[in-house]
Amino acid sequence: VADDALHKVAVLGAAGYAGALCAELVHGHPQLELTLATARSDAGVRLNEIHPRYRCAIELTGYDADIVAASAEVALVAYPHGAAMPVVAELVERGVKVVDLSADFRLDRARYEDYYQPHEAASLLPEAVYGLTEHARAEIAGSRLVANPGCYPTAALLALIPLRDQIADVVVDAKSGVSGAGRAANDKTHFVSVVENFQPYGVERHRHRAELEENLHPDTPVTFTPHLLPLDQGLLASCYVTTREPIGRDALRELFEATYADEPFVRVVGAPPGVRDVRDRNECHIHATVEQGGSRVLVFSAIDNLWKGAAGQAVQNLNLMLGLPETAGLVDAHV
Amino acid sequence: VADDALHKVAVLGAAGYAGALCAELVHGHPQLELTLATARSDAGVRLNEIHPRYRCAIELTGYDADIVAASAEVALVAYPHGAAMPVVAELVERGVKVVDLSADFRLDRARYEDYYQPHEAASLLPEAVYGLTEHARAEIAGSRLVANPGCYPTAALLALIPLRDQIADVVVDAKSGVSGAGRAANDKTHFVSVVENFQPYGVERHRHRAELEENLHPDTPVTFTPHLLPLDQGLLASCYVTTREPIGRDALRELFEATYADEPFVRVVGAPPGVRDVRDRNECHIHATVEQGGSRVLVFSAIDNLWKGAAGQAVQNLNLMLGLPETAGLVDAHV
Amino acid sequence: VADDALHKVAVLGAAGYAGALCAELVHGHPQLELTLATARSDAGVRLNEIHPRYRCAIELTGYDADIVAASAEVALVAYPHGAAMPVVAELVERGVKVVDLSADFRLDRARYEDYYQPHEAASLLPEAVYGLTEHARAEIAGSRLVANPGCYPTAALLALIPLRDQIADVVVDAKSGVSGAGRAANDKTHFVSVVENFQPYGVERHRHRAELEENLHPDTPVTFTPHLLPLDQGLLASCYVTTREPIGRDALRELFEATYADEPFVRVVGAPPGVRDVRDRNECHIHATVEQGGSRVLVFSAIDNLWKGAAGQAVQNLNLMLGLPETAGLVDAHV
Amino acid sequence: VADDALHKVAVLGAAGYAGALCAELVHGHPQLELTLATARSDAGVRLNEIHPRYRCAIELTGYDADIVAASAEVALVAYPHGAAMPVVAELVERGVKVVDLSADFRLDRARYEDYYQPHEAASLLPEAVYGLTEHARAEIAGSRLVANPGCYPTAALLALIPLRDQIADVVVDAKSGVSGAGRAANDKTHFVSVVENFQPYGVERHRHRAELEENLHPDTPVTFTPHLLPLDQGLLASCYVTTREPIGRDALRELFEATYADEPFVRVVGAPPGVRDVRDRNECHIHATVEQGGSRVLVFSAIDNLWKGAAGQAVQNLNLMLGLPETAGLVDAHV
C-alpha cells in the first residue's frame, strides 16, 4: 500500500489498556496510519514506555479537537463514559468518523439516563450504530458514529442473539480478567486483592445489563452478574436460557453453526471454551448445548476482553467504516 | 486433656489434598490423637515431606482394616468414589465410626447408580447421614457413618436450603480452585493449562448435581455448572433462584440471618463474598439479595473447598459424632 | 490466663499488611490484649472490614501519644520510615516499650542518613536493638526499643550470619511477593503489572543493603538485588558466598544445623526451600550447600515476608521483651 | 511468494510447548511451508486441538526418517536430549538440514558426557554450530546442523558475551516460567505446587551451566542457579560479574549498546527489564549497570523462554540457514 493511500487514524485515551491496544493495532495495520494518540495525564510519554511490550512508540499528546480533525479521518475514542460524549460530538461535527469505546452512544436516551447520567449529545443518538459487528455489518459500514459494545455484552450477545426469538428467560453469569477494570490503581485492582481471589461485583444492577436488555426482546427478563477473575485478559459469559419451546441439542448446534459459519472471528466449538484459547485474539469461541435430563439451554462464550471485547472489535468496525477488508490488521495482528 | 482421654483417629488416603488436611487438623486438634494415616502409593513417606507446610510428620502406611480397627475409634476416609465403599463397609463392620469424604454414601441407591456406578455396600445407605452439618446436627451426632458432602453442594446447599420451599427453579453457576481436582498430575492440572485460564467443565451433567437434587425438593429443576478457577483453594457458588412468590430484599436477608444467626461457621455478609475471605478457614460466607428491577433472588456462597468443602467439615462432623464441641480444633486451627 | 494478667498492646498503622497482621496476632495471642489499633486514613473502620479474612474486629482510631501511653504497655509501630521516628520517640518518652517495624532505628546514624534522610530522634539510636531474634535474644529481652529487621535482611542475615567470619564476598539475589510493597495502589502493584511478570528493582543501591552491611563485617562487600515475584506472600534470598577458606558440604551443613538446632522458628532443610512451605508461618527454612566442581557456598533462605519478615518477628520480639515464651501466640497462630 | 518457492519444513516433537510453537511459527511464516509435524503419543490429533490458541491445524503423525527426508528440506527437532541424537544423525545423513532444540549437539563430547550421557552421534559434533544467533551468524548460515541453545544460556550468554574477556567471576541467578519444564504433568508442574510458590532447583550442578562454561573463557568460574517462577512464559537471568578491571557505568552501557546496536531482536534498555515486556516476542531485553559504591557489574536479561529461548531462536537460525531475512516470520509473528 502506498503511504498516501493509508487512512489516517487518531486514538484518544491511548494510555489505558483498551486505548493502547487500539493504538498498537492501528500501528501494525497495513492500511492505516496512526497519526495521533492522546492521553490526559501521560502527554509527552511514548506509548511503549507505558506498555513496554508494544511496538508502537508514538509520543502521546494532549487533546485538541481541531488538531484531531486536521490529522485524522477516523478517531477511536477510548474515554470513560461521560467524558466521551462531548468529545465525540466535537469530532463528528468536524467530519471525523468515530468508533466510541465508551457506553455513551450504546443505548437509547431513556435507558442511558436511567443507567448512567444525563446525556449531553443526545441528538447524535439516533444515528449511532451499536457495533456488535457480526450482527450489524451494513449499518456499521454506512455510519459515521459507531458505539463499540461493552466487553460483557459482546460475549453475551454473540451467545444469545441466535436464540433471541426463543428466550423466555436468561441468566448471564459473566467473569472477566482485571484489565477490564482499567489501569486505575485502587484497592480493587491491587495485586494482593485479586490474586487467589474471585468475587462477584455490581450485583443487583450492573450497567452492562442495559446493553443486553436493549439488544434482546424488550420483554425478555435478563439477569446479569459479573465476577472478577484473577487473570489479566479473558472473559467468559455462561448463559442459562429457558426457551419458549424445547430445542434439541443437535438443532441447537446447527443453529449456532449456521449463524456463524462464515464468520472470520466467531468459532463455534465442540466443548466449553477456555479464555486462554482466545488470549490476544480478536475471536469469540462459543459452545452451545442442552442440559442432560433438563431443558435448559447452556451457551458459553469466551473472548479476550481487550480484543473482541474492546480494541479488536473497534478496529473490526473501523475496517467496515472505511471499506477495508474486515479482517485487515486483525488476523495477522502481532501484538 | 489427658493423653488417655484423646479420641483416636485414623485418616485413610492422607496423601491427597483433602486427606492431608484431615490429618493436619486431627494432629492439631486438642482432643484427638492421629494414630494412623494411610496412603496407597506414598507408604513410608512422612506427611510433611509431601506437604511441607504442614506440621504433622506422621509416617504414611498401607491400609489394613484390622490395624485401623485396632488403632482408631473413628476414621476419616478420603478415597476416590468407588474405592471408598468396600473400605467403609469393612470399618463400620469392625465398629469404627466413619466420616466418608467420597460420594459413595451421599445419595440414595438409585440416584447413586444413575450418576456413578453399581453400589457394593448398599445395605449401609439407609443409615448413612448426609453431613451438611448446619442442617443435620442431630442425625450426625447419633450416626456411625457420615457422608461428607461434596465441595460444590456444600456451598450451594448452604445458600439454597433457607429458600428450599420457595424455589421454583434454580441455576447454580459454581467455580472452584484447582485443589478440588485433586493431586493427580494431568493435562488439566498442569500449571500452564490453568494459569491465565478459566473454563467450564462437566457441563450438561456434573455428578454434584445429584446432591443438589437429593437435598432440594424432588421436583425442583436444578441447573448446575462448575468452572475451574486459576487459584488453588476457594469455591464460589452463584445461585440464581426463581421463587414461587416474590420476596423482598429485606425479608430475604432476615431469612438468611435468622437461619444462620447462631452458626459458628456460616456468616451472612452484607456484600458479595470473595473466596479469599475464607481461605484456610472452615467458614462459609453468604450474601443474598434481589435483583433490581427484577424478581430473581441471587445468593452467593464462598467457601474454601478443602476446608468447609472437605476436611474442615469432616472434622466438624467428627466432633459431633464424638460429642465434642463442634468448633474444637477448627476455630483455632493453625494450618 | 486471667484477663488482668494480659499485657496491653497497641498497634500503630494497623491498616497496612504488616500492621494488620500485628493486630491479628496480638488479638489471637493468649497472653496479650489488643487495646488500641490506629490507622491514619481508616479511622472508624473495623480491621476485618479491610482484611475480611481476619478475626480481629477492632475499630481503628486516630493516633494520640497520650492515649497510646494510657492504653498500652507496648506498641508495635508499623509506620513508613521517617514517619515512625517522632512517634517512637514520643512513646518511649512516655514509658511505652516499642517494637518499630520501620527502618528508622535499624542502622547507625551515619548509615541511616546516607541511605535514608536526616534522623530526628538520634539520641535513641544507641539503645535501639536490631531485632533479628535468633541472634540478639538477650539484648532484645532487656530493651525498651527494638528495631524490627527488614524482610530481605531477615532472610539474608539468617542465611549469612553463621558464615559471617568466613565471607570474603557475597551476592544476595532476593525475591519477594507483592505484599512487601505495601497496600498503596499504584502502577507497580496493579494486578496487570505484576501477573505473568518478574522484574528486578532497586538495583544499584537498595536500602536493605544497608542492614546487610551493618550486620556483617564492615569490610565485607555485599551485592544485593531485590526482584518482585507474582505472588502475594513469600520471600526467597539466594545467597552466593565466596568464603575465605574452602569449606566442605558436610562441614557447612553441620555448621547450619548446629547454629539453628534449638530454634523454634528456623529449620535447616535438606533441599532448597520453596516460599510456599512457609506461607502464613513465622518460619525460616534454610538450605546450605556447596556448588559441585566449584567452591562457592550457596545458601537459600525462605520466609513469609509478612510473618518472619515483619509481623511474626515483631511479636516474637515482643514476647521476649515481656518475658513471655518466645513462641507464644505464634506456633498456634491461626491467622 | 509463489507456493513452489516455499521452503519445506518438518517439525519433530510438535506436541510439546517448544515444538508446537515451532510448528505455529513455520505455519505463519511467509516463506516456509510446514509439510510434516510429528508427535510420539499424539499422532492423529491436530495441533490446535492440543494448543487451542494456535492457528496451525496440521495433523500430527508418527516419525519416519525417510518420510521426513522426502517431505522437508529442513527439520526442527524438539525432542528430549538423548532422544534427539539418533534422529538428528539419520536426518543429516539423508541430506536434511537440522536445527536441534535439544542439548545433544551443544557441547563438546567430553563436557556432554560429563553432564549428560554417552554420545551416540559424536562424529557430527565437530560441525554442529552453537546457534546463539547474534554471536554466530556466519557459522549458522553455512551449517547443516545447528544446536539451538538452552533457554537459560541464551539469556545469560547474551548478557555475558559482551564482557567475556573481562569476567573474573560470575554468578548467574536465573528464573524461568513453568513452560520451560515441558508439558509433562507431574508433581512439580501441578498448578497447586507452583502457584504462590518460588523455589530454586538443580542447585549444585544444573546442566545448563555446561553451556555457559563452554561459551565463556575456559577458566572463568561460573555459578549458575535456576529457580521456578509461578508464571507460564518468561525467563530472567540476573548476572553478577566481578570484572578483571573496574569499568564505569557509562562505559559499560556503551559497550552493550555498541554490541547490540543493529540487532533486530536484542534491545539494550535503560531500566531492569520485566519478563512481561518480552512475552510472546522473539526478543531479549538487557540492562547493564554497576552497583553503587561497589565494583560489581550487574546485567539483567529477559526473554520469553519459548521464543528467544527456544522456538523463536530456532526459526531465526533456520532463516539464516536458508538464506532468508533473519526476521522473516518473527517480527510479524502473530502467535
Average pLDDT of chain A?
A: 95
B196 contacts C53? CB cut-off 8 A:
no
Is the distance from CB of D277 to CB of D285 less than 8 angstroms?
Answer: yes
* pLDDT(A203) > 90: no
Tell me, yes or no, if A150 comes closer than 8 A to chain B by beta carbon: no
A291 contacts B205? CB cut-off 8 A:
yes
Nearest residue of B to residue C274 by CA position? B52
Average pLDDT of chain C?
A: 95
pLDDT recorded at residue C332: 67
Q: Which CA distances in Å does B108 have to B129, B144, B321?
A: 11, 17, 22
C198 contacts D175? CB cut-off 8 A:
yes
Q: Residue B187, Cβ neighbours under 10 Å: how many? A: 10
Three cell numbers written together for B238: 452463584
Nearest to D333 among A195, A277, A334 (CB): A334
Distance from CA of A233 to the nearest CA of C (A): 9
Nearest residue of D to residue A333 by CA position? D334
Q: What is the pLDDT of residues D90-148, one digit of tens each?
A: 999 999 999 999 999 999 999 999 999 999 999 999 999 999 999 999 999 999 999 99
* pLDDT(C90) > 70: yes
Three cell numbers written together for C261: 538446632
C191 contacts A195? CB cut-off 8 A:
yes
Is the distance from CB of D178 to CB of D226 less than 8 angstroms?
Answer: no
Q: Is the backbone of residue D239 left (phi > 0), alpha (psi -120 to 50) or beta?
A: beta
8-state DSSP, D308:
I
Q: What residues in A contact B300, CB-CB < 8 Å?
A: 200, 203
Tell me, yes or no, if D223 comes closer than 8 A to chain C by beta carbon: yes
* pLDDT(D204) > 80: no
Nearest to D194 among B183, B186, B191 (CB): B191
pLDDT recorded at residue C333: 59
Three cell numbers written together for C107: 542502622
Q: What is the pLDDT of residues D20-37, one digit of tens each?
A: 999 999 999 999 999 999
Tell me, yes or no, if B287 comes closer than 8 A to chain C by beta carbon: no
Please report all neighbours of C, defined by 3+ CB atom pairs within 8 A: A, B, D
Which distant-in-sequence residues (6+ apart) come within 8 Å of B65 by Cβ?
B87, B90, B91, B94
Whole-structure pTM value? 0.96
* pLDDT(A1) > 60: no
Tell me, yes or no, if B277 comes closer than 8 A to chain C by beta carbon: yes
D290 contacts C201? CB cut-off 8 A:
no
Q: Which of these, C321, C322, C319, B80, lies nearest to C332 by C-alpha position?
A: C319
Q: What is the pLDDT of residues B71-93, one digit of tens each?
A: 999 999 999 999 999 999 999 99
Is the distance from CB of C178 to CB of A192 less than 8 angstroms?
Answer: yes
C186 contacts A191? CB cut-off 8 A:
no
Vertex C202: Cα angle to C312 and A49 (nearest 5): 125
B190 contacts D189? CB cut-off 8 A:
yes
Tell me, yes or no, if D114 comes closer than 8 A to chain C by beta carbon: no
Rounded CA gap, B37 and B47, in Å? 9
pLDDT recorded at residue C60: 98
The rounded radius of gyration (Å) of the Cα atoms in chain C is 19
D298 contacts C204? CB cut-off 8 A:
yes
Distance from CA of D278 to the nearest CA of A (A): 6
Q: What residues in C contact D210, CB-CB < 8 Å?
A: none
Q: What residues in D contact C240, CB-CB < 8 Å?
A: 171, 173, 223, 225, 240
Q: What is the pLDDT of residues D259-280, one digit of tens each?
A: 999 999 999 999 999 999 999 9
Distance from CA of D187 to the nearest CA of C (A): 14
A190 contacts C190? CB cut-off 8 A:
yes
Which distant-in-sequence residues (6+ apart) come within 8 Å of C207 by Cβ?
C103, C115, C116, C150
Vertex B184: Cα angle to A191 and B10 (nearest 5): 100
Tell me, yes or no, if A117 comes closer than 8 A to chain B by beta carbon: no
Q: Which of these, A27, A38, A40, A43, lies nearest to A66 by C-alpha position?
A: A38
pLDDT recorded at residue B332: 67
Which distant-in-sequence residues (6+ apart) come within 8 Å of B325 by Cβ?
B319
8-state DSSP, B61:
B
SS3 D139: helix
Nearest to C53 among B195, B279, B331 (CB): B279
Three cell numbers written together for A269: 466449538
Number of CB pairs, chain B paired with chain D, less than 8 A apart: 56
A278 contacts D280? CB cut-off 8 A:
no
Q: What is the mean pLDDT of residues C164-184?
A: 96
pLDDT band at residue D333 using 50, 70 and 90 as cut-offs:
low
**How does B275-309 read in b/e, with b if 16+ C-beta sit within 10 Å?**
bbbbbbbbbbbbbbbbbeeeebbbbbbbbbbbbbb
Pairing verdict, β D297-303 and B235-243: unpaired
Nearest to C279 among B53, B273, B276 (CB): B53
pLDDT recorded at residue D155: 98
Please report all neighbours of A, defined by 3+ CB atom pairs within 8 A: B, C, D
Is ipTM > 0.85 here?
yes
* Residues lower than pLDDT 50 in chain B: none
Q: What is the pLDDT of residues A261-277, one digit of tens each?
A: 999 999 999 999 999 99
Put simply, the chain A residues between 165 and 194 with a CB less than 8 A from any chain B CB are 169, 171, 173, 175, 193
Nearest residue of C to residue A230 by CA position? C191
Tell me, yes or no, if B209 comes closer than 8 A to chain C by beta carbon: no
Q: What residues in A contact D196, CB-CB < 8 Å?
A: 195-196
pLDDT recorded at residue B333: 60
pLDDT recorded at residue C334: 52
Q: What residues in A contact B236, CB-CB < 8 Å?
A: 198-200, 227
pLDDT band at residue D205 using 50, 70 and 90 as cut-offs:
confident
pLDDT recorded at residue D285: 97
pLDDT recorded at residue A333: 59
* pLDDT(D183) > 60: yes
Q: What is the pLDDT of residues A278-291, one digit of tens each?
A: 999 999 999 999 98
C280 contacts B280? CB cut-off 8 A:
yes
Rounded CA gap, D314 and D154, in Å? 12
Number of CB pairs, chain B paired with chain C, less than 8 A apart: 30
The rounded radius of gyration (Å) of the Cα atoms in chain D is 19
Nearest residue of D to residue A55 by CA position? D331
Q: Which of these, A3, A8, A174, lies nearest to A75 by C-alpha position?
A: A8
Nearest to D277 among A52, A196, A279 (CB): A52
Rounded CA gap, D150 and B54, in Å? 36
pLDDT recorded at residue D292: 80
Comparing C2-6, C56-60, D254-258, the range with the smallest average pLDDT is C2-6
Put simply, the chain B residues between 19 and 78 with a CB less than 8 A from any chain A CB are none
* pLDDT(C164) > 90: yes
Q: What residues in A contact B240, CB-CB < 8 Å?
A: 171, 173, 223, 225, 240
pLDDT recorded at residue A332: 67
